[in-house]
Amino acid sequence: MKKSSLKRMFTGGMAVAMAVTMLGCGKNADSSASNTAKSKSGTKNSSTSAKSDDAKAEKDGDGPLVIWTQGNSIKEDAEAWGAANGVDVDVVVIPFADLQTKLKQQITDPKTAPDVYAITKDYVKDWVERGVNLDLSEEFPDDAKNYIDNTYKDLVALGSDDKGDLQAVTAEYPVGMMYYNREIAKNILGTDDPDEVGKALSDVDQWPDLYEKINDAYSGKVKMFGTTQNLNKMLSNRREKPYVKDDVFTVTKDMANIFEINKQIYDDKMFLTEKEDDAYFSGWNTDAFFVDFLPSWGYSSKFKPQVDGKEGAGKWGMTTPPYAYNRGGTYFFITKTTSHKNNAWDLVKGISVDTQKLVDVQKGKDGFASTKEANKILVDSGYEEPLLGNQKVFEEYQKQAAIQEKLPTDVVTKYDGDIESFMNDAVINYANGSMSLDDAIKGLGTQVQSAYPELTVKYNY
Amino acid sequence: MGKSAQVSKGHPPGMQKEISVKRGKKGRIDKNRYGLFFLAPFFIAFLIFGLYPILYTLYLSFTSYDGFNNPVFIGMKNYTKVFTDPLFYEALKNTVIMWVIGAVPQFIFAFLLAAVFTYNKVRGKGIFRAIYYLPRLVTAVSISALFNQFLSYPSGIVNQLLTSLNIVGEPVNFLSSVPFAQGSIGLIHWWMFYGNTMIMVMAGMTAISPSLYEAAKVDGANGWNLFWKITFPLLRPVTAFVFLNSLVGGLQSFDVQQILTGGLGAPQGKLMTVVMYLYNTAFKYNNFGYSAAIAYYLFFFIAIFASFSVMGRLKEGRESS
Amino acid sequence: MRIKPVKKTVMYIFLIALAIISFFPFYVMIINATRSTGDILSGFSLIPGKSIADNFGEMQSRVDVLKAFRNSLVVALSSTALTCYFSAMTAYGLTAYDFKLKNTAFTAILVIMMIPPQLSVIGFFKFMKGMNLLNSFIPLILPSIASATTVFFIKQYAETALSRSIIESARIDGAGEFKIFNKMALPILAPAIFTMGINSFVTSWNNYLVPLILLSDTKKFTLPLVIRIFNADTQDPSVGAMYLCIAISIVPVMIVFFLFSRYIIDGIGAGGEKE
């Protein structure tokens, strides 16, 4: 009958509501109660780090070690580390779009802040400057010095504050490379040697001519570039000055140049897609484009899954791009207010900068590590990658790393991520003809102004 | 009157007392006071979860607040900014365009179908109505994700169909060109709401007395005339209601566009709606004060349309009580 | 607008075609939820596949969708229970009694109906943050006590269904006011409550903006938030798992609807809906 079912629904609902209330309120109580047994291990470490800091004999607090990340791979790593070392690790995965927001909301409150958090490169500067992090140079001076000595300059610079104190570490050196299709290279350039190919594409002004040749040879079926997004990540890296200085955002001639380059690329239809979509992914196997720009981690996340066991295998090579670029990478921070200092640092070390771990991980994904020590081991292995036509991939990375490390490190600001994302839109607006250059650039300025009212926008192009 | 006399005769003293309490002036008010108790939970909850946040938002709109430091009072600055903000008006324009693209077919289909069902015996009417209405109930987010898959390039279902039936030579990148992308949003809105609108219009149509039609037919009017001279004018209140509702809802669009564009209103920000702009300003760029001002400015637009609706409902409500 | 027989076939064709178009996305969704990612990307099919278990495994390994389902269920059921009971209570208060503030209250309710949620969202966020209630279900459930649309609808119904004389006679029999409400009024109002209950359930199930703002721990996410995670996963997406997840979020509502479509649809015309 309606009456009794209504009543049932009501009482059921009330019961559920009460249960939920208790669950919701008791969130913190629950976790600490059930975990006092597990996390006694303040100093129990695995012997994976080269030098260990017994520095502050502070005991770690109760409760699980909480780490916030957006990625599944870090989740798996952290949980594995926790299991191997008897530490209770609680990984909270927050979607990329929300991570910044949620972190900002909760970082200042010790009750809700994580112990460790992982941020992608674009936002690292912002977090370094926030002053919410554990000063690694102070807390773990030996380890910090070790890392600084051993790691590439730009990685260290990004993760350090004005005083030069280390706040964040990373596991990879995201060396920016250029992938090229060997057969097309042989056909058009007469060679598929990486150095030669790199040279041939190094001058932006030569691109249209090169493309004409490709067009003729393949009757328009082959495009020069995979995605404009990847191309632009490369182009925008060549800044001599930071986007924002002293709270002034300036649109420079260099930036306007990127707009023009894109316009040419659109006019001549030199690219396959704007973003990485299905057409792009399958294009690796169908000779749909000649080059694309991917960093070292792009191998395992984008290239290999598409090409492994398919027609594209062995058909591609990797070489130096026209302009060196540094893209992506994840940095680990420890929160100042953490009660798990030692465990947190051990975890971070264990999943990022420990040499053996680095070698193992990067070997498995054909990537490049953040420490020179680890990379030497990788290069010395002389490994030849079949999917890249037996190219000595680690050697290639190292060659490029030498170039890349020379890039100026003071051009990074905390606004970069958003500025580049606005620029993407503005560039497309101009390049596909829907706006004039001035309007598109003005649009960029408006967006930056709206997102960051504290900045002044200047146009100098 | 008579009741009291009857009752006082045959009932024990206790009862009598109760009744006299009820009938006395004091008694009436006592019982009626219960009305306030019954209304209390609603209004208390509203005060806490509804009114307070609304007023707090108003307060925040006069401050600069980044989410963790304390709000700083800055007077009307946020408002002067939003009144002249090209991005706000751009978002408003986008929102309205996408609404129109969806609303036009939505209303055409709704009226057409309502007429078909009201004036004809259709077998399976209940099933048809149910199927047309169903999309409205479903989570907007799920539908958007679903359509995102359908429209994906190059091997989403729509493209598979178009290419295999040879309607187009190459797959179309729906979501990267502005007209197609906005059109897709319109399509989703049409699909979700035409059934709902149809049912509301039907409610109005069935209320029109058939005798009017009979009379007009006697005077020689044909189907077309009947519709435009009788049906449509009499449907005016329903049409107005449905139109306003749709517009108010459309101005608040957020879910569909956020899922389809990942939050930035791509391509080129042309799918950015006002609420998306509001959300980004607060939760992406941490300008809560400005976001609050955007909310109130948007409300200003909504209020204009919603007030017509409220007045209509008020009339309805008064008439029935 | 009576239609001749010839045109009648055309009419049916039109109606059926439209029904197919309307239902088509759901059908494809269910079919694709059972096919593997590779199959879905390479071709179109109207027959179900065999990969539902695979898809399920993949889906759960990326995000705990079952948990999200449970979360959505808890929130929706609790919200619905609260809304039903307290809206009926409020509507009863407006129908069974006369008191000075009655008309003001009713007008207030009408005005409240028209307030867009975006107006309170920012303030609500700061308020909940201050009370440390982010990442809790409480702010998602408690506000349901005050649902103006539900009150309005039940009141309309109560005007005709509930007569004062019944209430009077219950009073004569010695019943207290709340008892009259609980034991007598509620059953009478049941059809309206039921209709609005379903509506309220569906609204809560579909709620996106507020949970998006309040919840950050993926373990507490409701289904719409989880769908967003899948949707945003453009690197190596598992399309089959995605379809399955979408299906899980939609099918319960479909089932509820087909069981109770009569009530839902009949209710629309009277109460009106905001889209």
Closest chain A residue to the Cα of B287, Cα to Cα: A451
Kind of pairing, strands A89-93 and A271-273? Answer: unpaired
B85-320 is a CATH 2.40.50.140 domain = no
The set of residues, in sequence order, having a beta carbon less than 8 Å from that of A352 and lying 6+ positions away, is A169, A170, A171, A332, A358, A370
Final residue of a domain: which of A310, A341, A376? A376
Average pLDDT, rounded, for chain B: 82
CA–CA separation, B316 vs B318, rounded Å? 6
pLDDT in tens, C184-221: 888 888 888 888 888 899 899 999 999 998 887 778 89
**Residue B80 in tokens:** 């002067």
Closest chain A residue to the Cα of C219, Cα to Cα: A92
A387 inside domain = no
CB pairs under 8 A between A and B: 55
Q: Which residues of chain A have pLDDT under 70?
A: 1-59
Q: Do C115 and B296 form a contact (C-beta atoms < 8 A)?
A: no
Write down the domain spans for chain C: 64-232
Q: Looking at the structure, do residues A307 and A234 belong to the same domain, yes or no?
A: yes
Write down the domain spans for chain B: 2-46, 85-320
- Please report, as a single letter, which amino acid is at residue B21: V
pLDDT in tens, C232-242: 766 667 788 88
Structure confidence at residue A444 (pLDDT): 93
Q: Do A291 and A168 form a contact (C-beta atoms < 8 A)?
A: no
Above pLDDT 70, what percent of chain B? 88
CA–CA separation, C88 vs C81, rounded Å? 11
Task: Name which of B32, B42, B53 is nearest C127 (Cβ-Cβ).
Answer: B53
Q: Which of A5, A9, A302 should we substitute to test contact with C (largest number of C Cβ atoms within 10 Å)? A: A9
Average pLDDT, rounded, for chain C: 85
Q: Hey, which CATH number is domain C64-232, 3.40.1790.10, 1.10.1520.10, 1.10.3720.10, 3.90.1150.10?
A: 1.10.3720.10
Give the count of alpha carbons within 13 A of C106, CB side only: 26
**Residue A280 in tokens:** 């792009």
The yes-or-no verdict on residue B152 having pLDDT over 70 is yes
pLDDT in tens, B15-53: 444 444 444 444 555 677 888 889 999 999 999 999 999
Look at A59 and B60; give whichever has higher pLDDT.
B60
CA–CA separation, B14 vs A460, rounded Å? 94
Query: Residue A190: which region, alpha, beta or left (left: phi > 0; alpha: psi -120 to 50)?
Result: left
Q: Looking at the structure, do residues A333 and A450 belong to the same domain, yes or no?
A: no
Q: Do C19 and B22 touch (CB under 8 A)?
A: no
Q: Do B229 and B216 form a contact (C-beta atoms < 8 A)?
A: yes
Q: Is B63 touching A (CB cutoff 8 A)?
A: no
Q: How many domains does chain A have?
A: 2
The set of residues, in sequence order, having a beta carbon less than 8 Å from that of B116 and lying 6+ positions away, is B122, C1, C3, C11, C15
pLDDT in tens, B238-287: 888 888 889 988 999 999 998 888 777 777 778 899 999 999 999 888 89
- Residue whose tokens read 């049941």: C190
What are the phi and psi torsion angles at A284 (to 5°)? -65, -25
Q: Which of B149, B164, B260 should we substitute to test contact with C (largest number of C Cβ atoms within 10 Å)? A: B149
Q: Which domain holds residue A193?
A: 176-325+398-460
Q: Looking at the structure, do residues A155 and A265 belong to the same domain, yes or no?
A: no
Q: Looking at the structure, do residues A92 and A168 belong to the same domain, yes or no?
A: yes
CA–CA separation, C44 vs C30, rounded Å? 13
Q: Looking at the structure, do residues A202 and A113 belong to the same domain, yes or no?
A: no
Task: Name which of C136, C191, C229 is nearest A24 (Cβ-Cβ).
Answer: C136
CA–CA separation, C231 vs A158, rounded Å? 31
Q: Looking at the structure, do residues A233 and A363 belong to the same domain, yes or no?
A: no
